[in-house]
Amino acid sequence: MPKFNRFDVVEMLGITPISKVADEELWNKLVTPMTKGLIGPIVRSDPPVLVETVTGKFVGDEASNLNHHKLYGGQAGYVRYPYVRCFYKTQNGAFIVKRDGVKVEVFCWFGDVESGKGEMILKVGLRDRRFDGTKRANDSALLDYGYDDPIIHKTLSPNLKSVEISIYSFMPGSRIVDATGDEEYDRFIKNPFTFLDRSELFLTYFRRAWNGKRAPGQYCSSIADVSKLVLPAIEAMARAHGYDACEGAVSHYHVARWFMSSGYQFTNAPQAEVVAQFTTGLEKIRHDGTPLTRPQQSWVCVIQSLRPVDLIPASFNLSGPVWPQTNLDNACLWVNKPLTDKAKALLAKIA
């Protein structure tokens, strides 16, 4: 009898287990009580729609085409792999689920999104990482960043199934630009690294941010219960769908600390060493008499990238470490948490 190849053709064609998480499960586990309270109960569900264009149902609902595919005779505006959108109108907004073969993404919008007057208040994504490190990863239309670099985006292990998690929450009406009208400052808080090429302006905004309560990246206040409830819910969900590990790519120091406090570890040893240097440096600043809030800790990390180095305020100059993930290039600061015994054993071995 000939030996036939046994393979999972469905997964080889790019449909991974994460795409099977049900809408009900997502609503029940990932949309926190506070978020539910804001958007209100579901009042209408539209039939699922297969979308193959970059444009979405309304402004802010767009998808991406990171590999620059041009379809139907070379036309832009399409995505290679269509995704399914499930739209639920809620009393005060909308709950939207988007899925392709490798990612499920949950959005909560506050306000009348169908008239273009909505505000995104929650975005949670779970993404199967199996194609990372290849161009295939970027074929997902549900990405904000590329994952095709074979070194930076290398998967944990070919023998482990892992999902990348991403969580963002925004309290409605709390956006900097909405409160101050200052769009540039809003952009600075959103990503200060984009201002490094204008060092004087960077310093001006840095000083302003130092006195505020916003950490880098926090251009809105977060919804209080999201950081408490969502991470364990995602991990349970990932485990239930056969994944061995959860991973995150952390943009700032306070996010890294949050992951660490939830049992995550750095994937890359040299990066772990860099973060340890930051921790030591921050401790030294505190020891020298400058108390630091959690947002300020993250700002100290950010300012180490400012050049020339003599522009860095002397008391904050850590003389060495530079924050590894700027969201300007491919570089990621990966953290991971094993969910299964297999992952624990394998990751311990790798470490």
Partner 1 sequence: MTTQFLSPNIRELLGVTPVCTVSDRQIWNRLVTPMTKALLGKILDAAVEVRETISGGFPGDEVTNLNDHRLYGGQDGFVRNRYVATTYKTENGLFITKRDGVKFKAFGWFGDPRKGAMELIFKGALRDRRFDGTKQANDSSLIDFIGYEDAALNAPLVIAGKHVKSVELSVYAFLPGSSVVDVSGDEEFHHFIRNPFTFLDRPELFRQLFDRAWKTKLAPGQVSKPIPDVSKLVVPEFELVARGKRYDFVENAPSHYHVAMWSKSMGYRYADPAQEKALDELTAGIARLKASGVKLTRAQESWVCVVQSLRADLIPEGLNMNGPKWPQDNIGPQNLWMYKPLTEKAKALLEKK
CB of 150 to partner 1, least distance (A): 16
CB of 69 to partner 1, least distance (A): 5
- Give me the helix-helix angle, 199-210 and 294-303, nearest 10°: 170
> Which tokens hold the place of 100?
């392709």
CB of 234 to partner 1, least distance (A): 18
With CB under 8 A as the contact rule, the residue among 58, 81, 145, 210 that binds partner 1 is 81
- Of 22 and 269, nearer to partner 1 (C-beta) is 22
Residue among 288, 276, 265, 285 nearest 339 (CA):
265
22 near partner 1, rule: CB under 8 A: yes
Could you give the 3-state DSSP secondary structure of residue 3?
coil
Handedness of CA 249, 258, 36, 170 (dihedral sign): negative
Cα gap 300→83, rounded to integer Å: 40
Which part of the chain contacts partner 1 (CB under 8 A), choosing from 95-103, 163-171, 173-181, 226-234? 95-103
β-pair partners for 99: 84, 104
Which part of the chain contacts partner 1 (CB under 8 A), choosing from 98-106, 116-124, 150-158, 236-244? 98-106
87 neighbors 45 (Cβ within 8 angstroms)? yes
With CB under 8 A as the contact rule, the residue among 29, 89, 99, 130 that binds partner 1 is 99
319 near partner 1, rule: CB under 8 A: no
With CB under 8 A as the contact rule, the residue among 34, 54, 84, 233 that binds partner 1 is 84
With CB under 8 A as the contact rule, the residue among 117, 135, 284, 307 that binds partner 1 is 135
> Which tokens hold the place of 283?
């401790």
Cα gap 44→23, rounded to integer Å: 14
86 near partner 1, rule: CB under 8 A: yes
5 near partner 1, rule: CB under 8 A: yes
- Of 87 and 259, nearer to partner 1 (C-beta) is 87
Cα gap 22→4, rounded to integer Å: 34
CB of 129 to partner 1, least distance (A): 17
Cα gap 344→348, rounded to integer Å: 6
211 neighbors 189 (Cβ within 8 angstroms)? no
Q: List residues binding partner 1 (CB under 8 A).
A: 2-7, 9-10, 12-15, 19-20, 22-24, 27, 41-42, 45, 47-48, 50, 67-74, 80-84, 86, 88, 99-101, 135-136
